[in-house]
Structure 1
Amino acid sequence: MAPPVYDCSDPDARAEGLAAAARAARAGALVVLPTDTVYGLGCDAFSADGVRALLAAKNRGPDMPVPVLIGSWSTIDGLVLGVPRTARLLVEAFWPGGLSIVLPHAPSLGWDLGRTRGTVMLRMPLHPVAIELLRDVGPMAVSSANISGSPPASTVQEAVAQLGESVSVYLDGGPSGDPVASTVVDLTGSQPRVLREGAVPLAEVSEVLGREVQLA
Structure 2
Amino acid sequence: MAAYCYGCQTKVYNGGHLASSSSFPRSSAAPATFGRVYFDAPKPRRFQVLALSVKRSPKRLKYAAPRFTKEDEMLYVEVDPSQSGADSWKLEPVVDLLKQGAVGVVPTDTVYALVCDLRNNSAIERLRRIKNIGPLKPLGILCHSFHDIDTYTTGFPRGDGQGHANLFRYVKQCIPGPYTFILTATKQLPKNCIRYGMADAKYKLRKDVGVRMPDDPICQAILEKMGSPLISTSVKCPKENEWLLDPVIIADTYGPEGLDFIVDGGVRVAEPSTVVDMKVIPPKIIRQGKGPKLHWMVTEDDNESAQS
TM-score when normalising by structure 1? 0.86
Matches within 5 A, 1:23-42: 23-42=96-115
Superposition deviation, residue 38 in structure 1: 1.3
Query: Are residues 1:6 and 2:77 paired?
Result: yes
1-structure distance, mates of 2:129, 2:170: 33
**Bigger mean CA deviation after superposition, 76-85 or 36-45:** 76-85
Name structure 1 gaps, 5 residues minimum.
none
The 3 A distance-change label for structure 1 pair 108 and 130 is: closer
Percentage of matched positions with identical amino acids? 26
Q: Which residue does 2:95 correspond to in 1?
A: 22
Secondary structure of the residue aligned to 1:142 is strand
TM-superposed deviation, 1:16: 4.4
2:287 is matched by which residue type in structure 1? R
Counterparts of 2:261 and 2:85, CA distance in 1: 16
Residue in 2 that maps onto 1:104: 184
The 8 Å contact of residues 196 and 215 in structure 1, kept in 2 or not, is answered as no
Matched, 1:113 2:193: yes
Query: 2:299 aligns to what?
Result: 214
Measured against aligned partners, the alpha-carbon deviations of 1:145-189 in whole angstroms (never above 9, x if no partner) come to 23544422212102101110522121111112x211111111123
Shift of 1:71: 1.4
In structure 2, what is the Cα distance between the partners aligned to 1:89 and 1:4? 40
TM-score between both structures, scaled by the size of structure 2: 0.62
Larger relative contact order, structure 1 or 2 (CA cutoff 8 Å, min sep 6):
1
Structure 2 vs 1, CA of residues 174 and 41 (structure 1 numbering), >3 Å: closer, same or farther? same
SS at match of 1:94: coil
**Further displaced range: 127-136 or 19-28:** 19-28
User: Secondary structure of 1:185's match?
Assistant: strand
Q: Show structure 1 runs of 4+ deviating over 6 A.
A: 10-13
The equivalent position to 2:118 in structure 1, one of 45, 50, 55, is 45
1:141 corresponds to: 231
**Corresponding residue to 2:263 among 153, 171, 187:** 171
More helix by proportion, 1 or 2?
1
| Structure 1 range deviating more: 35-44 or 148-157 | 148-157
Q: Which has the larger radius of gyration?
A: 2
Distance 1:147 1:61, change over 3 A: farther
Structure 2: tracts of 5 or more residues without a match: 1-71, 159-165, 198-206, 302-308
Count of aligned pairs: 209
2:74, 2:171 → 1: CA distance?
35
Amino acid at match of 2:263: L
Q: 1:91 aligns with which of 147, 156, 171?
A: 171
Distance 1:116 1:159, change over 3 A: farther
1:57-206 equivalences in 2 (<5 Å): 57-85=130-158, 87-117=167-197, 118-137=207-226, 138-149=228-239, 150-165=241-256, 166-176=258-268, 178-202=269-293, 204=294
